[in-house]
Structure 1
Amino acid sequence: MPRITASTVLEHRAQQERAILDAARSLLAEGATEAPTLAAVAARTGLARSSVYQYFDSKEDLLRAVIQDAVPRWSAHVDARMRAAGTPAARILAYVEANVELVASGEHAVFRGIAAATAGDIAVITPSEMHREQQRPLVAALVDLGDPEAEATADLVQAVLYRASRDVEGGGDAETALGPVRRLLSPYLESFDGAR
């Protein structure tokens, strides 16, 4: 019988599952081009492969769990930053800054790993659906700002965000990458403030 390392079996299972998810996330973040095998995840966690199968039936099942874990974590970080910002203009900047922070922290590497690993094979959520879902608070802030074409503007903001993210992933500093974004967005945001 395996040794329980928590005060209850339920807590032990939760700890083991968290360790497995974290191991899969780290393998994906390291540039995996396919879903990590359960054997590789087991080796990373120090568990027997048979132990990992107690939590996940297949590497596809594990990858789905990683996605279901990663998307809300990303969204929660962005939402918290936007809620703290106040005005619609500040919320829009907070959206961009929070996303660049996550890229700088290495979190985006997990999503790149997921995209490379799935290549359309695992139908949980496509990258475009994921980006559209994560853009919802940006669209809401743009509507609150008064932009009559909030969806189109959100796509433009996302394109600028993508460029800043690419700079950070290429080894650039987050604050430096955000400079051009702020300079580009500031006149647009001020044009709505002046109209009120």
Structure 2
Amino acid sequence: MPRIDAPTVVEHHAMRRDAIVSAARETLVAAGASAVTPAAVAAQAGLARTSVYQYYPSTGALVAAAVEAMFAEANAALGEVVARGDDPRERIHGYVTAALQLAARSHGPFHSVSIVDLPPMCRARVRELHEELVSPLRAAIEELGVADPEIVVGLAFGAISAAAQLVDHGQPLKTAVESTVRFVDAGLDSAQRGGGRGRLSVV
């Protein structure tokens, strides 16, 4: 009988699944979707490859679980921070700050997750998860009543993503947050004066 590393079989399976997903996330972030194989994830998690297949029977399912977990953590954290803001600007500032903190800590979805590199079964779901990620930012920007919220959301999110890359390459987090907040604020000021034109899809 297999060794049970928890008080109950249910807890044992939950612990194993969490360990596998965590290892898959680390591999995805470090080396991309093509590196997320059952063998690589098993080695990262300190498990037998057969243990990985027990929970995720294909590479596609394993990648999907890693991507889902990565976005779920970010979406929950951002939603919580934004909800604490008393007005739209404060919520936007909170979103920028929390997003860059997440990027600095875990290289999450604010770094590029290339859809073309993902298994087909993941691509539609990633678009949905990305929309959930942007949703708190979009709601706050729309509440400001800017001239063209869609393009403003796209530009603001683009600034956050660019700042995340700078943090990844050594830019101090505090500097990146302050600069990005100022940049986004300037764009919001312009848009509130009616300067926004055109359309931009952020997904």
Q: Is the 8 A contact 2:147 2:191 kept in 1?
A: no
C-alpha distance 156-48 of structure 1, shift in aligned 2 (>3 A): same
Matched, 1:151 2:150: yes
Superposed CA deviations along residues 23-67 of structure 1, whole A, max 9, x for unmatched, are 111112222361422112112222111121111101111111112
Say whether 1:124 aligns with 2:114: no
- CA positional deviation for 1:188: 5.2
CA distance change for structure 1 residues 188 and 50 in 2, over 3 Å: closer, same or farther?
A: closer
Partner of 2:81: 81
Percent identical: 33
> Is 1:17–1:55's contact at 8 Å kept on the other side of the alignment?
yes
Shift of 1:107: 3.0
Q: Distance in 2 between matches of 1:71 and 1:190?
A: 30
Structure of higher RCO (CA pairs closer than 8 Å, 6+ residues apart): 1
The match for 2:162 is 163
Q: Against the structure 1 CA distance between its residues 45 and 185, is the aligned structure 2 distance closer, same or farther, given a 3 Å change threshold?
A: closer
Residue identity matched to 1:139: R
The range that moved more, 2-11 or 64-73, is 64-73
Aligned residues: 192
Aligned alpha-carbon RMSD (Å): 2.6
1:58-97, aligned counterparts within 5 Å?
58-97=58-97
Task: Give how far 1:180 is off.
Answer: 2.0
Q: Structure 1 residues 57, 128: CA separation in 2 closer, same or farther (over 3 Å shift)?
A: closer
- Distance in 2 (alpha carbons) for counterparts of 1:153 and 1:193: 10
- Structure 1 window deviating more from structure 2 (67-76 vs 124-133): it is 124-133
Query: Structure 2: which amino acid aligns with 1:69?
Result: A
Write the letter of the residue equivalent to 1:124.
C
TM-score (norm 1): 0.85
CA contact (8 A) 2:39 2:49 kept: yes
CA contact under 8 A between 1:89 and 1:189: conserved in structure 2?
no
